[in-house]
Amino acid sequence: MTISDRPPWVADAVFYQIFPDRFAASSRVAKPANLEAWDAPPTRHGYKGGDLYGVIEHLDWLTDLGVNAIYFNPIFQSASNHRYHTHDYYLIDPLLGGDPAFEALLEACRDRAIRVVLDGVFNHASRGFFRFNDILESGSDSPWQDWFTIRSLPLDAYREGEPPNYSAWWNDPALPQLNTETPAVREYLMRVAEHWVRRGIDGWRFDVPEEIETVGFWEEMRQRVRAINSEAYLVGEVWGQAQDWVNDGSRFDGVMNYPITEANLRFAAAERIDDDVVAPVNLSLTPPLDAAGYATAVAEHFDLYPPEAHQSNLNLLGSHDTARVLSMVGADPDSVSLAAVLMFTLPGAPCVYYGDEIGIPGHQDPGCRAGFPWDRQDDWNHDLLATFRGLIALRSTTPALRHGEYRTLSAEGSMYVFSRTLDDGVVVIAVNAGERGASTGPIGVTVADLVWGQGTSDGVSVSVPRRSAAIWSATR
């Protein structure tokens, strides 16, 4: 593999992250009793009954938004609403509609040219995973003991507040860690990944890959998946610097780009960040950044990776593992809009967490996992929705925003100005995060037409109102 051996379609993608239990529910899937009301505040363990047919029935929403790729949180059989507690890696959860719903989803997505990326949770399974369950039942007679790291028997899997007597993710007894040093475990996980790529998915998002330390595991995973689909996208959940994971192209194409999330929000929201909301989240959103600080943060981050990796990183404002972006920025929709401008115009593939485009609020898990309020459009932020739609449309029709070289043009006070350049096409993006209008001096390119937002230009400099952004076409 080489550093340029990355799927070319990713740079052109706009991802939408779907938490299946909470996005949409269809009458085509029989619902069990004891579901939470769809509009009730989400709880940590309750189910709302979203399913894959519900996703199919709302694909027009995604295409109207401009989405052409979906990243799904886990969809395999599990005893949890988030499905990170995998019971069977080869079965689509029956509450999601099972295999028929999955096949119908793939077909419907193919018809709309929407890519599908699944969540691969290969570090840990669950107490209901057959081999672990066999150890619970059979103890020392179980043939599956080497699939896990067991310190003593019988397994003590349900004692609250005490670390289990086996290796578990963050000592959570519900999440026994798979022992990937055992060849049979490693082979099992490789075949799971291969199976679903053969079934037609377009890639994997790998959960907590740093937890799997087996030498060569991720290199083999890449080789085997890409042998089936040479354009399969492999992206890792690595929250910090990830040079070892992406730079030489032997493991992942990119990572979930949380450092850019942090920089974008620290600049766009500044002192509006709600520390009480952010505190439980694994994000650093203080201190605020002015334009110069933001320019430095982005430059330092871009220095970490080759251009091909930046094109394949997944840029986001928030996810199922953070509070809702609107809540993190103190319920200020302007901050969300400014951060969205940055997300959609920086190198990398933007990813919208379901409902962020209409301003769904929510604190950390479970608050960030509410049901999409399809029937409460009066609660939507329609201005924010228009912002997302407009930015996605512009990105989709402007090659320089997807593939162009990135360069800082001005970083003074509260306004950051940069360009994306592809051949003779130049786009200038100006974000003014301050409370007053701001102007630049000459920025080194010839500014032409305003293509999005609010701003003026005399051809050599730009001006943008307070808490606003503007995008122009330009020439060298």
How much is the pLDDT for 282?
Answer: 81
Q: What is the pLDDT of residues 421-447, one digit of tens each?
A: 999 899 999 999 999 999 999 999 999
Peptide linkage before 143 cis (omega within 30 of 0): no
Rounded Cα distance, 14 and 5, in Å:
20
Q: Which residues of 29-54 are buried (b: 16+ CB within 10 A; e: fewer)?
A: beeeeebbebeeebeeeebbbbbbbb
The CATH number that applies at residue 466 is 2.60.40.1180
Residues 338 and 456 in one domain: no
Residues 384 and 413 in one domain: no
Above pLDDT 70, what percent of the chain? 99
End-to-end CA distance of the chain: 35
Whether the predicted pLDDT of 157 surpasses 60: yes
Residues 235 and 326 in one domain: yes
Residues 407 and 391 in one domain: no
The residue whose two tokens read 């070289």 is: 405
Asked whether residue 173 is assigned to any structural domain, the reply reads no
Which of 357, 376, 397 finishes a domain?
A: 397
Interaxial angle between packed helices 333-345 and 258-268, expressed in degrees from 0 to 180 and rounded to the nearest 10 = 140
Residues 307 and 419 in one domain: no
Rounded Cα distance, 84 and 174, in Å:
10
Q: What is the pLDDT of residues 295-343, one digit of tens each?
A: 999 999 999 999 889 999 999 999 999 999 999 999 999 999 999 999 9
Half-sphere exposure of 291 (CA within 13 A, CB side): 21
Q: What is the pLDDT of residues 173-188, one digit of tens each?
A: 999 999 999 999 999 9
Half-sphere exposure of 151 (CA within 13 A, CB side): 10
In three-state secondary structure terms, 472 is strand
Residues 315 and 447 in one domain: no
Asked whether residue 106 is assigned to any structural domain, the reply reads yes
How much is the pLDDT for 2?
Answer: 46
Mean pLDDT taken over the chain: 96
Give which of 144, 219, 204 is closest to 176, Cα–Cα.
Answer: 144
Whether the predicted pLDDT of 41 surpasses 90: yes
Residues 202 and 253 in one domain: yes
Contact status, residue 220 vs residue 183, Cβ threshold 8 Å: no
How much is the pLDDT for 162?
Answer: 86
Strands 468-475 and 438-439: unpaired
Asked whether residue 152 is assigned to any structural domain, the reply reads no
Contact status, residue 126 vs residue 164, Cβ threshold 8 Å: no
Residues 114 and 227 in one domain: yes
Contact status, residue 319 vs residue 276, Cβ threshold 8 Å: no
Domain count, the chain: 2
The residue whose two tokens read 């949380």 is: 258
Asked whether residue 96 is assigned to any structural domain, the reply reads yes
- Which has the minimum average pLDDT: 55-64, 84-93, 303-312, 444-453? 303-312
Asked whether residue 145 is assigned to any structural domain, the reply reads no
Strand 468-475's sheet: what is its strand order? 405-412, 415-422, 425-432, 468-475, 446-453
Residues 377 and 416 in one domain: no
Active site residue 99: no
Tokens representing residue 130 in the block = 């057959």
Catalytic one of 237, 253, 332, 356:
237
DSSP tag of 474: E
How much is the pLDDT for 67?
Answer: 98
- Which has the minimum average pLDDT: 85-99, 136-150, 157-171? 157-171
Whether the predicted pLDDT of 1 surpasses 60: no
Half-sphere exposure of 357 (CA within 13 A, CB side): 27
Q: What is the pLDDT of residues 95-149, one digit of tens each?
A: 999 999 999 999 999 999 999 999 999 999 999 999 999 999 999 999 999 999 9
Which of 330, 362, 397 finishes a domain?
A: 397
Q: Which domain holds residue 427?
A: 403-475
Catalytic one of 51, 207, 253, 262:
207
Residues 72 and 94 in one domain: yes
Active site residue 207: yes
Which of 347, 365, 397 finishes a domain?
A: 397
Residues 455 and 349 in one domain: no
Interaxial angle between packed helices 217-228 and 183-199, expressed in degrees from 0 to 180 and rounded to the nearest 10 = 30
Q: What is the pLDDT of residues 213-263, one digit of tens each?
A: 999 999 999 999 999 999 999 999 999 999 999 999 999 999 999 999 999
Asked whether residue 131 is assigned to any structural domain, the reply reads no
- Strands (E) in 232-332, as ranges, are 233-236, 254-255, 314-316
Spatial neighbors of 203 by CB under 8 A, at least 6 apart, are 7, 115, 117, 118, 232, 233, 234, 235
How much is the pLDDT for 71?
Answer: 98
The residue whose two tokens read 């330390």 is: 213
Maximal CA-CA distance, the chain: 80
* Residue 307 φ/ψ, nearest 5 degrees: -55, -35
Residues 391 and 411 in one domain: no
Asked whether residue 155 is assigned to any structural domain, the reply reads no
Asked whether residue 433 is assigned to any structural domain, the reply reads yes
The CATH number that applies at residue 327 is 3.20.20.80
